[in-house]
Structure 1
Amino acid sequence: MSLPDPRTLAAAGAWATPPPRRAGGSRPEPLLALLARITPLLVRGSARRPVREPAAVDRSLALRVTEVTAEAEGVVGLRLVRADGGGAFLPAWHPGAHLDLDLPSGRRRQYSLCGDPAVRGAYRVAVRLVPDGEGGSREMHALAPGAVLRTLGPRNAFPLALTGSGSLLFVAGGIGITPILPMVRAAAAAGADWRLVYAGRSRATLPFLAELAGLSAHEPWRVRVRTDEEAGGPPSAEELLADAGPGAAVYFCGPPALVPGLRSVPALHVERFSPPPITDGAAFEIQLGRDGEVLPVPADRTALSVLTAARPTTPYSCRQGFCGTCRVRVLAGGDALRHGGSATARRTDDAMLVCVSRGAPGSRLVLDVGTG
């Protein structure tokens, strides 16, 4: 028998009179009689119970490197466990998630989790060395077993949706396989209709080929490896999408240069490892403090690139407008500020994300970055 919430009945005055009797009997229904007695206690107790505010959760955690493995030419994989040894489990994560790692230099960089979410005692990330980069990848390649890093996360700005009956096409370019690999594993485990196109310069530079072969051992046609070395040049968008079925959801991670060609896909999900290209940019200026240096920002550069050239210690992380690390207060010129980036970034009228936000053409933004 389905019974209504007794507090709702009491609030409505439903039991101002004795509970109903059984048909033809002289005693109340036992269960209803019991509810009639305890309802006032429930109502008074719920009224006195204090409302607890949600407590903040600290997702900062020290991780220790236990293994460093060569995954491909220029790519290392790192296995990370709790540095304090306290408990076997790390915070859970889902395919597409990443860690924000604080490197020994103080830089904070983001790396996709590329292991198995079911393995709760360790995380795995993989990093390609960028010889002419700003140093994050060199620091990661220099790490040895025993090194300790502090992490924030995991966070997920690239979630996989396995609901529905449509097909899935995964497209990975080079090190872009790192968030895609757990997605492929999840799709295979769920019995989904999936395909993967894995592109790169050569097979020697592509990590995790053996793992992918294992996931598609009985259906090798699900994975297509496409290299510039074998095909004679980089792929076109049409070639990457050749395996997409009608209405397929496409998950892409790779070089930004490939993104424009994929924009025709209605259900396109994108994760980038480098900043998005600047389109329709216009020149403006930034001033370092109210009395500081004025720096021109050309139409094809970001305020972050100009600011870090002048102040190498400027903090930043994602360079795509969603992590908020590079947020700077605007002291003057805020009316000319053009916000950019992900909707998940917190924006206010007096702050900008210098990695993606810009001033109006010809304007000057005075930034609260001091004069030192």
Structure 2
Amino acid sequence: MSGITSLQTRSVRVLLAALLSLFITVLAIGPAIAQFEPIEGAGGAPSDADTLSHLVVSELVTGGASASDEFVEVYNPSPDALPLEGLELIYVSASGATVTRKAAWIAGAPLVPSGAHWLVANAAGLYAPMADTTYANGLAATGGSVALRIQAATTAIDAVGWGTATSTWLEGLPAPAAPAGSSLERLPGGAAGSGQDTDDNSVDFVMRASPDPQNAAATPIASPSPSATPSATPSPSASATPGSTDPPSPSPSPSVTPSSTPSPGPISIAEARTLPDGTVATISGVALSDSDFTDGGGCLVDESAGIAVLLSSGTFARGDELLVTGTVGDRYARARCDPPRRR
């Protein structure tokens, strides 16, 4: 990354990053500005109004009358559209010894609207005609995991393990293996959507006797809107006490602190991806995963597109909002931004 300028904020973490489709040095605005805080309900537990900021696996079937009657449903619980671009869906055997790609989304893949679904199904099974993406070969009914991740990443955006799964590609404890023809569905499920994510598959998923696969053409489920930031309540002005009135003292004129030249305002990720090499760009978005990527990194998205960030230093958490500035370059036929080199 070259030509980095500092950003003034209450808490700033400097990250040097390479992007999957744009590789860029990252300046992450810290938790005081960027961290999405959970809305707490009774007893301090996350309430149903909590809003996730990443795609999730919402329902899966590992076989029915035929072993090929299987699907994996992806859902967007966020109030904003989220991109599939740059992501892949993998199947991991129960022990973790085998990892198989079931779907991958290249540049130009569609966004998943808020409350909408994307259905991935076995091409030889019952659900193939309604699927948005199909795959070959199956899922083990007794145990395994599916995970949504940035392509080739070593950590998942979301992962679900069931039955005898013991690999690292799950969250908490595995959900029970569903009987043939039944599904595992993320809570709360149905018309309420699938927005629960406690990072424990055994808690977040329940068995459904009647699967309810939904594809991109299904009517989106209404998702919660971001909670409004409460405005400060003005305190009442003190009333003057009758009596002698002191002459008002002059108010001091505010001093003007010279500031550094501001960086250009952020542009959309989709627009940044079209810039030629050597162009300095500033973008902002939400981290779909934490910074523990293949070589240290994560995934940044806005309403237009998504970008993977590969860090050489620093960290950020899933759900952080990042402001990134850097110079567009090229790597493996994909754009990136390099850190400055010492001469």
TM-score, normalised to structure 2's length? Answer: 0.25
**Which structure is larger by alpha-carbon Rg, 1 or 2?**
1
TM-score, normalised to structure 1's length? Answer: 0.24
As a proportion of its length, which structure holds more helix? 1
